Amino acid sequence: MANEIYILQDRCTGCGSCVKVCPVNCISMSDRPKQEGVRWKKLATIDVNKCVFCNACVEDCDKLFEKTKVKVPNPDFFHAIVMKKEEVKVQIDTASYKGVWCFAEQRHGRLMPTIFELLHVAKKLSSDLNEDLSAVLMGHQVSQYAQDILEHGADKVYVLDHPIFEHFLDEVYTCALTDLIKREKPNKLLMPASIIGRSFASRVAIAAQTGITADATELSINQKNGTLHATRPSFGGNLMATILCEKHRPEMATVRPMSFPRAARQPGRKGEIVRVTVDPSQWNIRSKFVKYEAEKNETIDITAAEKIVSGGRGLGKPEGFKIIEEFAQTIGAAVGASRPTVDAGWIPYKHQVGLTGRTVRPKLYIACGISGQIQHLAGMSSAEVVIAINKDPECPMFKLATLSVEGDLYELIPLIIQEIKRVRDHK
């Protein structure tokens, strides 16, 4: 029995809910032929050639039925999509998939440094597999970055340079990357766990009919069978889980930014640049870019900061972050925070450092009133210099710190700020 999916016309209301949940854009709404006794004007239509039989539309329609029957006993609509799937397990020739790929993210025409972090970890993976290391660069007028990517370790760069990629849209990027995957058949694919990467990586996995590990912090190759071991925090960071995808390709993972150092640059390094032809007319794109508004925020992003001053539960109160902000402003640093302070609502989540927050790699990290639980240490332990200020001399942070200062932060920080300003004024 082959896979089959169809619409029960007498039950479909033309609500369009199934269109919104389809990850591969194979469902559209069409005008319903005139039918006596039917008041619905639209009818869902499924392009079976594009359908990946993920069941998202069926589940969505069934949920609408459950919600409706509470108000209307025995409703005569919804439950309108029927899917019959072949029970034989899909078998793919994993040996035909070769190469390790990294997605090179760009924003507003500027290459993001996450690609260099991905290349660093992917180089080890490709060496263990004895396969080429490639990068995929998508954007508009971004071809000039291909050589920079080659110099950071890629053997090949696929360049998709087209006006349609100027502004990020999930549907557009998903269609383009999925088409390239199906044509070139990479073995592994790493993407940044950034806002953009997290937004469309799962769509790509569904469209390519494979699995994905989100927010990986460790990656390695099983030397016996060549599978990817992707490790990520689970249960709030209390457990580290290793995820496998043994029967599908490519094996995908999003990698948390700042989890790995950047690949070293080798000026003049040569490689292959493949310019990929893009034909957007082949894609059923339902969304469009309207405008971009930059966030009106003067604070420094902790993921890109070279200096960070973080506050923890030792502050004792939400007002304590005022002194942290003053300290950070004095030395030109970003403001970080531990999870308990974010959970308590003292400071927004974007400041959270740790396994369940953001991983940082600054040159200087100053921890104020942070005891140093393992989840927090995992997010900042790669800092070059760590200074800890805490009343508790036995706290774990002191063991990691380059310099430990025992004392009341409300007494010490004002004195430090005062001394910095004094020295600065005398220069």
pLDDT tens readout for residues 248-274? 999 999 998 888 889 999 999 999 999
Q: Tell whether 321 and 359 lie within a shared domain.
A: yes
Last residue of a domain, one of 31, 60, 84: 84
Q: What is the pLDDT of residue 247?
A: 87
pLDDT number for residue 68: 64
Asked whether 364 and 387 are in contact (CB, 8 A), the reply is yes
Is residue 239 within 8 Å of residue 147, measured between CB atoms? no
Minimum mean pLDDT range among 294-298, 304-308, 369-373: 294-298
Residue 155 has pLDDT above 70, yes or no: yes
122 and 241 in a single domain? The answer is yes
- Strand-pairing partners, residue 337, are 311, 352
Whether the pLDDT of residue 349 is over 60: the answer is yes
Q: How far is CA 58 from CA 68, 73, 206, in A?
A: 15, 21, 16
Among 91, 58, 82, which Cα is nearest to 5's? 82
Within this chain, do residues 138 and 257 fall inside the same structural domain, yes or no? yes
Overall average pLDDT of the 183-193 stretch:
94
Least confident of 30-39, 308-317, 345-354, 362-371: 30-39
Same-domain status, 351 and 213? no
> Do both 174 and 268 map to the same domain?
yes
In whole angstroms, how far apart are CA 216 and each of 169, 170, 265?
Answer: 24, 21, 24
Residues 4-12 have a mean pLDDT of: 88
Decide if 300 is inside a domain.
no
217 confidence band (pLDDT: 50, 70, 90): confident
Q: What is the CATH number of the domain that holds 122?
A: 3.40.50.620
Q: Read off the pLDDT of each residue in 223-237 and give the average, rounded to a whole number.
A: 81
CATH number assigned to the domain comprising residue 8:
3.30.70.20
Q: How many percent of the chain have pLDDT more than 90? A: 54
Cβ(347)–Cβ(377) below 8 Å:
no
Task: Answer yes or no: is 287 within a domain.
Answer: no
Predicted confidence (pLDDT) at residue 1 exceeds the cutoff of 70: no
Query: Does the residue 302 lie in any domain?
Result: no
What is the pLDDT at residue 72?
A: 53
Asked if residues 273 and 144 have their Cβ atoms less than 8 Å apart, the reply is no
Instruction: Mark which of 84, 109, 139 sits at the end of a domain.
Output: 84
Residues 376 and 329 in one domain: yes
Residue bearing the bigger pLDDT, 234 or 346: 346
Is residue 115 scored above 60 in pLDDT? yes
Task: Say which residue, 149 or 67, is predicted with more confidence.
Answer: 149
Mean pLDDT of the chain: 88
**Which of 60, 84, 108 is where one domain is finished?**
84
Domain check: are 246 and 369 in the same one? no
* 106 & 220 share domain: yes
The model's pTM is 0.70
Whether 110 and 64 share a structural domain: no
pLDDT at 74: 54
* Whether the predicted pLDDT of 90 surpasses 80: no
> Structural domain of residue 51, as residue ranges?
4-84
123 and 133 Cβ atoms separated by less than 8 Å: yes
Q: What is the per-residue pLDDT for 69?
A: 55
Question: Does residue 313 register a pLDDT over 70?
Answer: yes
pLDDT of residue 359: 86
- pLDDT reading at 427 higher than 70: no
Q: How far is CA 9 from CA 3, 41, 80, 168, in A?
A: 20, 11, 7, 36
Q: Within a domain: residue 288?
A: no
- Taking each helix axis from N to C end, the angle separating 321-331 and 409-425, rounded to the nearest 10 degrees, works out to 20
In a domain, 56, yes or no: yes
Total structural domains within the chain:
3
Q: What is the pLDDT of residue 297?
A: 61
- Residues 145, 278: one domain? yes
In a domain, 293, yes or no: no
Give burial (CB, 10 Å; 0-12/13-18/19+) of 411: exposed
Q: Residue range 117-121: average pLDDT? A: 95
Give the pLDDT band (50/70/90) at residue 355: confident
- Residues 32 and 136 occupy one common structural domain: no
| Residue 250: cis peptide before it, omega within 30 degrees of 0 | yes
Provide mean pLDDT across the span 349-378.
90
Residue 146 lies in a domain: yes
155 lies in the same domain as 262 = yes
Is 61 among the domain residues?
yes
> What is the 3-state secondary structure of the chain?
CCCEEEECCCCCCCCCHHHHHCCCCCEEEEECCCCCCCCCCEEEEECCCCCCCCCHHHHHHHHHHHHHHCCCCCCCCCCCEEEECCCCCCCCCHHHCCCEEEEECEECCEECCHHHHHHHHHHHHHHHHCCCEEEEEEECCCHHHHHHHHHCCCCEEEEEECHHHCCCCHHHHHHHHHHHHHHHCCCEEEEECCHHHHHHHHHHHHHCCCCEEEEECEEEECCCCCCEEEEEEECCCCEEEEECCCCCCCEEEEECCCCCCCCCCCCCCCCEEEECCCCHHHCCCCCCCCCCCCCCCCCCCCCCCCEEEEECHHHCCHHHHHHHHHHHHHHCCEEEECHHHHHCCCCCHHHEECCCCECCCCCEEEEECCCCCHHHHHHHCCCCEEEEEECCCCCHHHHHCCEEEECCHHHHHHHHHHHHHHHHHCC
